[in-house]
Chain A
Amino acid sequence: MNKIELRDVVKTYDGKKNILEGISLDVREGEFFILVGPSGCGKSTLLRIIAGLEKISSGALMIDGKIANEMPPKDRNLSMVFQNYALYPHMTVRDNILFGLDVRKVPKAEQKERLAEAAEMLGLTEYLSRKPRELSGGQRQRVALARSVCSHAPICLMDEPLSNLDAKLRGHMRTEIRRIQRQLGLTVIYVTHDQVEAMTMGDRILVLHDGKVQQTGTPLELYNTPANTFVAGFIGSPQMNLAEAELLGDTLVLNHSLAVPLTDAERRNLPEGSHWKIGVRPEQIEFAAPDNRAASTVTLCSTEMMGNETQILFSVGAHTFTARWQGQYLLENGRAIHVQLSPDTFHFFDDETGALLRAALTIKGSDMQSA
C-alpha cells in the first residue's frame, strides 16, 4: 500500500520560479525512501511539504490514500528529525523526548513506558536527566531519534540527520537508523545530499535536480542504469567518467583525442547514431598489458593511494578520467600507462538531452548477484 503519494506537486514562492516542478512519487508502507540531490535542488522543500510546514502551490499530496494538501501537520501522524536536531536547550533529555506527547493525550504511564523503550533502544538511559548542551553531537542525534521513536508515528521524516556528525559516527548511525526503521516497521523519508548514505540506506532512491525528478529506483537500478548523465555522475564514488564519443570507422573516439578500438560484436551493440555522451565507471577501466591490442595508451596525471586500492587519474582530452585498481600501484606522474576501455561497459547517453540510450552491458560484480 502506498503510504505517501505525490502527484504533480509544484512549489513556487514568487509565482515565477518553480522550486519544485511536477513531482510525483509513491512511498510504500515500511519503506526506507531516500530523497537525494545536490544542495538547492529542492529536496528539503519537498520533505517540508510532506510534513506540512510548506504549502503546495499545485498538485496533490496523499497520506494513507487521503488528500492531505491542507491537513495541519499535527494530523499527519508523522515525526521529523532535523539536521540540527531541534532539541530544546532548556529541557532535559527526558523532557525533550517526551515533548508533545501530553498534547496528544498519551497517558502518563504509557509515556513512561515509551520513554524507557526509546531510551533503551538508543542507549540513552543514563543521560535522561542531562541537558542537550552536556551531550556530544552523536548523543544529541540519538535524542532526536528517540523523540521520533517515542512519538509512535508510523511515518518518520529525516532531513539530513547525519550531516553534522564526523565520518566514523555517521557510518555507525547509518546502520543504527536502518536497524530502528526495520525493527519498528517505520516508513521513512530521508533527505540527504550524500550519495553514499543514499546507496547504503535506501530501499528506493529518488534523485532530484533543479526541482525535477531525475530518476526513482533501487540503489542498484540507479547505479547500473542511470536514467541520464546527471544521475550517472551523481551516484557512485568516485564519479562515473563522462566524455563525448564519436564513431569514426572502427574506433570510438573519446573527447576527440582517445581512440578506443571496437570489435565487431561491440560495434553491433552500439546504439543508433554516431555522436553520444558516454559514461564509464572507474572500476570498469582495467589495467592492460602493453601488447594487448585493445589497450589504449594514456598519460598518468596523478594517483591516489588508498592502500587496498589505487585511484589512477589520467586525462582524456579536456576531462580527467579516474580508474580504480585493486592493489598498490606506485607509478610516477606523467608516465604513459596502458588501460583497457571496453565499450561494452560504457553507458551511452543522448548527445543533447543526456538521456540514457544504452546501459552498460557488463557490470563488474553483477554476476555475483545471483550467487
Chain B
Amino acid sequence: MRKAQISITYIILTVAAVLVCFPILFSICLSFSDLNDILQGNYIPSKLDFTNYIHAFQTQPLLRYMINSAITGVLSTTLQITFALLAAYAIVFIPFRGKKIIFLIMMATMMIPGEVLVISNFQTIRAWNLLNTFPGLILPGVASTFGIFLFRQNMMQIPLELKEASTVAGVSDFGFFIRVVAPMVKNTVVTLAIYFFLVSWNSYLWPLLSTTEDTVRTVQIGLRQLKNTEAVSDYGMMAAGAMITSLPTLLLIFFGQKRLQEGMTKGALK
C-alpha cells in the first residue's frame, strides 16, 4: 500500500475510534467532576475525586444489585447453555419424526421480538407467584433459540462417523454428548456464555417489570434509580454509577477476548 493510503486509513480509524470512545471518556470525566463544575460546563475534572462513587453507593444499594445481577447472570447463562446444547444435540444427532418442522418452528420464534412476549410472560410469572424471585427473573429466558441455532451449526461440523464409531463401540448418546460433542464445541460454549452473561447483565425491561424489591433487583434498575432522586439530577453520580455497573462487563470482555481468540486460532489449525 502506498503511504497516502495508509495515512487515510489511519485518519479514518482514528476518527472512528474517537467517536466510539467519546461517550465513555465523557462519562469517565463526568464521574470525577463536581456537579457545580458540570453545570457550569467544566467537563474536565481538575483532580481525581471519588465523591461521586461514594454517593452512588450511598444513594442506592448498588453492591446488593450487582450481586443480584451476578446471580441472575450466572444462573441464566448456565441454564441457557445447557438447554441449548441438549436441544442442538437432539436436532443434529438423534433421528426423530418431524425434526425439520420442529427446528423450523424454533427458528421462526427468533423473528418474534422479545417485547411482544413481555405481557404474557408477566402474567405467567405472576400466576406462578414468582414475581420478586430469581426464578421469575430467569425462567422466561432459559430457552435460547439463538443458542440452539449456533450449537446446531457447530455440531453439524462434527462428522457423523464419529457418532457411528461410538455407537458401534457401545457408547450411549449421553456418553457421546459428554465425551465427544461437548469438548468439541467448547469454544462456542465460551463465546455464547460470555454473550449470554452480558445480555443478562444489561437487561432492563424484564427485571424492571418482574421485581419491585431490593433483594432481587438487578443493577440496571439500580442505575436507573440514581436518576430522579433529586430535583436536579446528579450527573456526576449517575456517570459514576454507570462506570461501576459497566466495570464487570468490561472485565469479562477483556479476559474473555483472549480466551476467544485462542479458541478461534485453535479451530483454524484443525
Contacts and interface: CB of A to CB of B under 8 A. Distances in A.
Interface of A: 48, 51-53, 73-74, 78-80, 82-84, 86, 88-90, 99-100, 103-104, 133, 151
A99 B175 CA distance: 11
Contact of B168 (A74, A83, A84): A74
Contacts of A73: 167-168, 170
Interface string B160-199: 0110111111111001000110011000000000000000
Given A84-B159, A86-B161, A90-B183, A103 B171 contact: yes
A103 B167 CA distance: 11
A89 B157 CA distance: 12
B161 A84 contact: yes
Nearest to A104: B170
Interface string B136-176: 00000000000000000000000101101111111110010
B119 interface: no
Given A89-B270, A100-B171, 12 more contacts: A51-B164, A52-B167, A53-B167, A74-B168, A74-B170, A78-B168, A86-B164, A88-B162, A90-B184, A99-B166, A103-B171, A133-B270
Contacts of A88: 162, 180
Contacts of A82: 161, 164-165
Contacts of A79: 168-169
Interface residues of B, number: 19
A80 B168 CA distance: 7
Contacts of B161: 82-84, 86
A71 to B, nearest CB: 12
Q: Is the interface of B mostly helix, strand, loop or mixed?
A: helix
Interface string B240-270: 0000000000000000000000000000011
Contact of B169 (A83, A90, A99, A133): A99
By CB atoms of chain B within 10 A, which of A51, A74, A86, A103 has the most?
Answer: A86
Contacts of B164: 48, 51, 53, 80, 82, 86
Contacts of B168: 51-53, 73-74, 78-80
Interface of B: 159, 161-162, 164-172, 175, 179-180, 183-184, 269-270
B165 A103 contact: no
Contact of B167 (A74, A83, A90): A74
A201 to B, nearest CB: 22
13 contacts: A51-B168, A53-B167, A73-B168, A79-B169, A80-B165, A86-B159, A86-B164, A88-B180, A90-B180, A90-B184, A99-B179, A103-B169, A103-B171
Contacts of A84: 159, 161
A76 to B, nearest CB: 8
A83 B183 CA distance: 23
A100 B169 contact: yes
Contacts of B167: 52-53, 73-74
A83 B162 CA distance: 11
A73 B180 CA distance: 19
Nearest to A85: B161
A78 B170 CA distance: 10
Contacts of B183: 90
A251 B59 CA distance: 114
A100 B159 contact: no
A314 to B, nearest CB: 45
Contacts of B165: 80, 82, 86, 99
A226 B159 CA distance: 38
**A-B pairs with lowest CB-CB distance, top 7:** A100-B169, A74-B170, A86-B165, A86-B161, A80-B168, A82-B161, A90-B183
A104 B175 CA distance: 12
Indicate the member of A74, A78, A84 with the most B CB atoms within 10 Å. Answer: A74
B175 A103 contact: yes
Contacts of B170: 73-74, 100, 103-104
Contacts of B171: 99-100, 103
